[in-house]
Structure 1
Amino acid sequence: MKPIASRWARSVALLVVVSLVASCGLPRVGPNKREIYEGSVQKKGDAYVIATNDQVTRITAVTPALGFSEEFLRAGTIGSDTIRPGDTLSLTIWENVDKPLLGPEGQVASILEEVQVDGDGFIFVPYAGRIRAAGNTPEAIRRIIKTKLEDQTPDPQVEVRRAAGDGSTVSLVGAVGAQGVYAIERPTRTLTAMLARAGGVTIEPEIAQITLTRGGKQGKIWFQDLFKNPELDIALRGGDQVLVEEDTRAFTALGATGTQARVNFESQNLSAVEALAQVGGLLSATADPTGVFVFRNEPEEIANQVLGRNDLRGAQRMVYVLDLTKPNGMFVARDFVIRDGDTVYVTEAPFTTWDKTISALTGSLSSVSILSSLTESSGG
């Protein structure tokens, strides 16, 4: 009877192992293709699962719209001869008398350095009083001072020149060579010139963004667009704030990829192929190239276009499927644009699950053999 009992013990142990493997499941990186499709709206789930094709890539190819408003673009360059609040002037006044108004006896020329134009646009000159400087040229200011002094000293000669400033200052912060407050002067009247004055950008130019704030209004552009589109090199104004920062967009990579992490964009436009390349590509030993998924909350307008509808309201959960094994699969993946906040997930190939099952059973069958041996020993 021993052989029958032994076979019976082995069979029972094997059934127990198979039951445990089936009920407990196997280790894996996430849902498989079947489970994702089971969660689709078509099967009473809450996400639309869409097979990606050329039409879908065209509809979803939306990139951030960066640029300056017409108000910023129309602003002309500040003239070098127009005085504005915040400028600093230097005045020299010559008097043809022994006892001048503005200096000690015997001194012909009086120099007034660093005369600041106040917030209201005025300067003060002894014996001439408070004079409107903002909006006038140095020549106009010279004539005003001369006229006011002529009643008190014969034939005064006046020179007015700008010592510093050209419409106040601009502050530059962020990823620039030298953060600080800079005066708008002849060489630095435009955005590119001021950035150069501050030492240029200190991050990768391709992902550098420039935000300019003026009077409560903002504009943002890509740094590289400054050179591709010269019209974006706008004229600066006093009080402008310029921020240079790295692109903050990112996507999340999960599943059978080289890296599972939140990954920052490395270019202005990022395709699905480039996103996979950034994370080390697909794992050749486990990845299913027919199961590359992009999870996204799609805006109402785009979701309706993709699905050929007009009744959807609000953002929709969309799952785009990329099959890299199709003849045009790589081209579609190359044209599919990844957006900020996307999740790129690669499923495991079916044979990977099978291998895991076999490995689990093989390891468990060793335990079955041990159990059977123990059973025979105890019976003997």
Structure 2
Amino acid sequence: MITLTLRFAKGAALVVTLGLTAACGLPSSGPNKSDIFSGSVMEQGDAFVLTVDDRVNRIASITPALGFAAGFRNAGIVGSDTINAGDVLGLTIWENVDDGLLVPTGQNATVLEEVQVDGSGFIFVPYAGRIRAAGNSPETIRRIISEKLGEQTPEPQVQVRRLAGDGATVSIVGGVNAQGVYPIERPTRTLASMLAAAGGVGVSPEIAKVTVVRGNHSGSIWFEDLYDHPGHDIALRGGDRIFVEESTRYFTALGATGAQDRVQFESQAISAIEAIAQVGGLNTNLADPTGVFVFRNEPEAIARQLLGRDDIIGTQRIVYVLDLTRPNGVFMARDFAIRDQDTVYVTEAPFTQFNKTISAITGTLSAAAGVNNIVQ
């Protein structure tokens, strides 16, 4: 009897020891809720943990917008007849007198061929002096020359034409249907019309980003915004470079979701609910709907508003908590905007760990029984 009792005690001790060992080393898809909350600044951690409500949503869901600076927006529209440095012009001048300034005796007009626009953008016309040509149309140059000569000869008539030169062009590359170099003509003097001339965008319009590089400056806009808000359209300039590319923004989904993956944005804005749906929703066998977390590095200005503190310096680690079981939890998740490089993490439900523990102990019992049989 004593022998049986000792054997039972040894077997029980072995089971408990193996069970505790199994429980401590159980596999998991990541930290649980307690682990995350223990990393809070309130618990001497280095991240701020915030429950998402209407106030947090108003501050945190601001998505950085794209748009052009004033220098792009205020640029006036130019046409294909705009003269550039290096262009070659032809001038014909008529005078209504027998002894004119430029017209030879016995003729009614004089022709000045191959008048080149110098690197500073000027041309020289006898008796009219240096005339600003670059940036002006032939009509404007004609008017300026006529005014200058009109001070010395009555009612001169002037004709200006471009003999050589490429005129104003832009280059379009990237996700368009017809890349190339295009002249700025009357129908294509703005960004939207030039993109149409290039066959439109060849990537998904929802995530197409258009960038214009002009000299040392650049500006970007979403393709959809360009057409939804005509005020965002800008006038083009010769030498502009237009790049069309698909957005590279992404978020990472981890934990008890249908799939754990790095996911590209499929539209300009994605809510937390849409992000979860894109990876197959919550795993019904594992997920804890009260423990949906979004990890993000927030800039100083937004962090100060979120925390209501003026002593915040620099970018802060923020952990947003979404509880889908609350009466308005789904609405909060629907209104919470996911941003570029966010991490969406869903914790496992407590019963999942419990089941794993039971399974580990059950497996341990079987192993212990085998060991006990061997001992016997």
For 2:305 and 2:161, the matched residues in 1 are separated by 65
What residue identity is the alignment partner of 2:240? D
For 1:361 and 1:118, the matched residues in 2 are separated by 89
What residue identity is the alignment partner of 1:7? F
Query: Contact 1:165–1:185 at 8 Å: present in 2 too?
Result: no
Which 5+ residue runs of structure 2 have no aligned equivalent? 93-110, 125-129, 146-157
The alpha-carbon deviation at position 247 of structure 1 amounts to 1.3
What residue identity is the alignment partner of 1:20? T
Q: Does 1:251 align with 2:240?
A: no
Query: Contact 2:19–2:361 at 8 Å: present in 1 too?
Result: yes
* Superposition pairs of residues 42-53 of structure 1, within 5 angstroms: 42-53=42-53
The alpha-carbon deviation at position 43 of structure 1 amounts to 1.4
Which 5+ residue runs of structure 1 have no aligned equivalent? 93-109, 125-129, 145-156
The alpha-carbon deviation at position 270 of structure 1 amounts to 1.5
For 1:143 and 1:5, the matched residues in 2 are separated by 116
**SS of match in other structure, 2:251:** strand
* Superposition pairs of residues 165-314 of structure 1, within 5 angstroms: 165-166=166-167, 168-314=168-314
**1:105-153: CA deviations, max 9, x gaps?**
xxxxx9x99x9867555799xxxxx998643516966998xxxxxxxxx
What residue identity is the alignment partner of 1:214? R
The alpha-carbon deviation at position 265 of structure 1 amounts to 1.3
The alpha-carbon deviation at position 336 of structure 1 amounts to 0.9
1:356 is matched with 356
The alpha-carbon deviation at position 331 of structure 1 amounts to 0.4
Query: Contact 1:66–1:222 at 8 Å: present in 2 too?
Result: yes
What residue identity is the alignment partner of 1:265? F
For 2:41 and 2:281, the matched residues in 1 are separated by 30
Matched length: 343
For 2:308 and 2:131, the matched residues in 1 are separated by 69
1:344 is matched with 344
Supply the RMSD in Å over aligned alpha carbons. Answer: 3.2
The alpha-carbon deviation at position 14 of structure 1 amounts to 0.8
For 2:215 and 2:255, the matched residues in 1 are separated by 47
Q: Does 1:137 align with 2:147?
A: no
The alpha-carbon deviation at position 172 of structure 1 amounts to 1.1
* % identical aligned pairs: 59
For 1:90 and 1:202, the matched residues in 2 are separated by 42
Q: Does 1:334 align with 2:334?
A: yes
Query: Contact 1:142–1:160 at 8 Å: present in 2 too?
Result: no
The alpha-carbon deviation at position 173 of structure 1 amounts to 1.4
2:104 is matched with none
Query: Contact 2:254–2:345 at 8 Å: present in 1 too?
Result: yes
1:14 is matched with 15
Query: Contact 2:213–2:240 at 8 Å: present in 1 too?
Result: yes
Query: Contact 1:33–1:347 at 8 Å: present in 2 too?
Result: yes
**1:322-342: CA deviations, max 9, x gaps?**
000000000001111111121
CA separation of 1:349 and 1:340: change in aligned 2, threshold 3 A: same
What residue identity is the alignment partner of 2:59? I
Query: Contact 1:50–1:318 at 8 Å: present in 2 too?
Result: yes
1:316 is matched with 316
CA separation of 1:122 and 1:30: change in aligned 2, threshold 3 A: same
**SS of match in other structure, 2:356:** helix
CA separation of 1:161 and 1:302: change in aligned 2, threshold 3 A: closer
CA separation of 1:231 and 1:89: change in aligned 2, threshold 3 A: farther
For 1:80 and 1:183, the matched residues in 2 are separated by 7
**SS of match in other structure, 2:72:** helix
CA separation of 1:350 and 1:187: change in aligned 2, threshold 3 A: same
Query: Contact 1:82–1:138 at 8 Å: present in 2 too?
Result: no
CA separation of 1:116 and 1:256: change in aligned 2, threshold 3 A: farther
* Superposition pairs of residues 68-107 of structure 1, within 5 angstroms: 68-85=68-85
**SS of match in other structure, 1:371:** helix
For 1:139 and 1:291, the matched residues in 2 are separated by 69
For 1:42 and 1:277, the matched residues in 2 are separated by 32
For 1:70 and 1:88, the matched residues in 2 are separated by 33
For 1:15 and 1:118, the matched residues in 2 are separated by 93
Stretch deviating more after TM superposition (82-91 or 251-260): 82-91
Query: Contact 2:256–2:282 at 8 Å: present in 1 too?
Result: yes
The TM-score, its normalising length taken from structure 2, stands at: 0.81
The alpha-carbon deviation at position 179 of structure 1 amounts to 2.1
For 1:81 and 1:301, the matched residues in 2 are separated by 48
Query: Contact 1:142–1:159 at 8 Å: present in 2 too?
Result: no
2:107 is matched with none
Query: Contact 1:88–1:165 at 8 Å: present in 2 too?
Result: no
What residue identity is the alignment partner of 2:287? A
CA separation of 1:253 and 1:60: change in aligned 2, threshold 3 A: same
